[in-house]
Amino acid sequence: MGLDMYAWKTKDKDLSQDNLNLDELAYWRKHNRLHGWMGNLWEEKGFPNQQGDSYQFNCIPLELTKADLLELRKAIKNKTMPDTQGFFFGHDSYDEDVEYQKEVDKYDLLFVTNGLRAIRDGFKVVYDSWW
């Protein structure tokens, strides 16, 4: 068990439906700082697709705009994603060795590039997680 995170592209308009037509852009495992960044964005956007009375950011699709992805790129490059704790989230994403962190940053930046390309091509970019 643990934090599994996904980024998808879709042309579906309603992200709350159960049967979305999705193509995977990225997958992460226990990248708690990225999840914390996305959770903060979800709050800033007014908790879209919230499930019932829960304000837990889990299994909730979050659409990412071009502006969101550009802000994420800055946060990756500046190492300003928030420290995020959770039982299933693993250790701090920034605690790894330097070479590993370079690979994580490279993967994250590739996601941003691919997400921006998908938006340019008429897709929605969606982040989702499950823990």
pLDDT grade for 108, boundaries at 50, 70 and 90: very high
Mean pLDDT value across residues 60-81: 96
Long-range contacts from 109-116, C-beta under 8 angstroms, 24+ separation: 109/73, 109/76, 109/77, 110/26, 111/7, 111/25, 111/26, 112/69, 112/70, 112/72, 112/73, 112/76, 114/25, 114/26, 115/7, 115/9, 115/25, 115/64, 115/69, 116/66, 116/69, 116/70
Task: Give this prediction's pTM.
Answer: 0.83
Mean of all residue pLDDT scores within the chain: 87
pLDDT of 88 over the 60 cut: no
Mean pLDDT value across residues 54-81: 93
pLDDT of res. 10 = 94
Mean pLDDT value across residues 72-81: 95
pLDDT of res. 48 = 87
pLDDT digits (tens, 9 = 90+) for 31-57: 888 999 999 999 999 988 887 777 788
